[in-house]
Amino acid sequence: MKYTDEQLSTRAKEAFDESVEKLDASTLSKLNRSRHKALAELAHPARHQWLRWMPATGIAAAVLVAVMIMQSPSGVEDVIAPANVTDMEILLGEDSIEMLEDLEFYSWLDLAELETDNDVG
Amino acid sequence: MDVNTAVFAVSCSGTSTTGTRALQKERQLNQFLAGVERRALRIAEIAVRDRDEALDLVQDAMIKLVRNYSGRGKEEWTPLFYRILQNGVRDWHRRQAVRNRVIVWFGRKPKDDNDYDPVAAAPDPIGRAPDEELQNSEAMNSLETAVHGLPARQREAFMLRTFEGLDVAGTAVAMGCSQGSVKTHYSRAVHALRAELQEHWPGEDGSKEGGR
């Protein structure tokens, strides 16, 4: 005898249904607990709302960091580094510190010179 | 009746209606899940060949359905539930593949699917003659092995159509593909199973199924 497609499906369905009927009490109990745990979600729907955004937020943050790293030109560090070195030289040099302390004076001096030039002109 | 009393009465009435709806929804979901959970467990178990893992997958599917789709019409729940479950099964297989690669990398032997012993995992027989029980158990074991050996999409189509009894449209929703694809996957699955099971499933006259 050769089964048709329909007969094979029917036989498979019968065997499957029988295996479902034979599930043991322990498994049925676990299923029952799972169902009640799922239904408890109805009572506390908002509890996990923020968790839903966690994967998206994580991915967005990772993408942002990746884009920043990729977009960052290699020359930026070269430009910043001398500036930082210059800052350090200014801060560490004794003369420069004195100049910085008198910055208001030099500004006033520049302004005064400009006004004098205007008066003369 | 003063104004405050009237407002309180209307408020109570509204709360009562909302509460009744919530209870009704919970009752419907409970009924749906209770009706589908056993078959879903066996379908997941055949796909992953591990009952505990299958229980976890079914529980996750239940929670996601209640959390995300409880507001949908109950006629939509079956395909949606199985779609969630099938996605879970696919994710499980992906994780297993990665885990096996890592285990191989560290020089351990990955867990072989063939280590699964359906006879050992089978529940105790209930109220059947031993020879009948053995015959049916062997038939199911060979079916499980054959179904598990199918390509994933064919396996999904066969189990949803045959075991769960979903129609083509429902199976398409559950699998996230077209109805034409469902028909193709299902047809290929049945042909493959027929070739695979002919050695294990005797015909009604006691002969082997195929080859005649």
Between A1 and A56, the more confident residue is A56
pLDDT at B54: 96
Between A8 and B171, the more confident residue is B171
**Residue B159 banded pLDDT, cuts 50, 70, 90:** very high
Closest CA to B135 of A54, A104, A51, A15: A15
d(CA A69, CA A63): 10
Phi, psi at B208, each rounded to 5°:
-65, 155
> Which of B64, B96, B128 is at the close of a domain?
B96
Are B197 and A8 a contacting pair at CB < 8 A? yes
Which of B124, B140, B203 lies at the smallest CB-CB distance from A15? B140
Q: What is the DSSP letter of B202?
A: B
Count of the separate structural domains present in chain B: 2
Pair (B80, B125) in one structural domain: no
Q: What percent of chain A has pLDDT over 90?
A: 22
Instruction: Decide: A15 and B136 in contact? Cβ < 8 Å.
Output: yes
pLDDT at B206: 47
Domain that residue B143 falls in:
109-211
pLDDT at B37: 96
Taking only the tens place, the pLDDT of each residue in B36-90 is 999 999 999 999 999 999 999 999 999 999 999 988 888 899 999 999 999 999 9
Taking only the tens place, the pLDDT of each residue in B16-42 is 677 787 788 899 999 999 999 999 999
For the residues A30-58, what does the mean pLDDT come to? 79
Does residue B102 sit within a domain?
Answer: no
CB < 8 Å to B38, chain A: 20, 23, 28, 31
Pair (B8, B72) in one structural domain: yes
Pair (B54, B133) in one structural domain: no
Are B29 and A37 a contacting pair at CB < 8 A? no
**Residue B181 banded pLDDT, cuts 50, 70, 90:** very high
> Which of B63, B96, B129 is at the close of a domain?
B96
Are B162 and A9 a contacting pair at CB < 8 A? yes
Taking only the tens place, the pLDDT of each residue in B79-138 is 999 999 999 999 999 998 888 888 777 766 655 555 555 555 555 444 555 565 566 677
d(CA A97, CA A90): 7
Any idea what the CATH number is for the domain that residue B151 is in?
Answer: 1.10.10.10
Neighbours of B88 (CB within 10 A): 22
Size of interface A-B (CB pairs under 8 A): 110
Which of A16, A27, A42 lies at the smallest CB-CB distance from B66? A42
d(CA B108, CA B96): 14
pLDDT at A21: 93
Return the structure tokens found at B123: 């529940």
Pair (B90, B118) in one structural domain: no
Are B59 and A38 a contacting pair at CB < 8 A? yes
Closest CA to B201 of B127, B144, B123, B122: B144
Torsion on CA atoms B128, B132, B134, B140, rounded to nearest 10: -100
Return the structure tokens found at B145: 């092995």
Q: In 3-state terms, chain B is what percent helix, strand and coil (to 5)?
A: 75, 0, 25
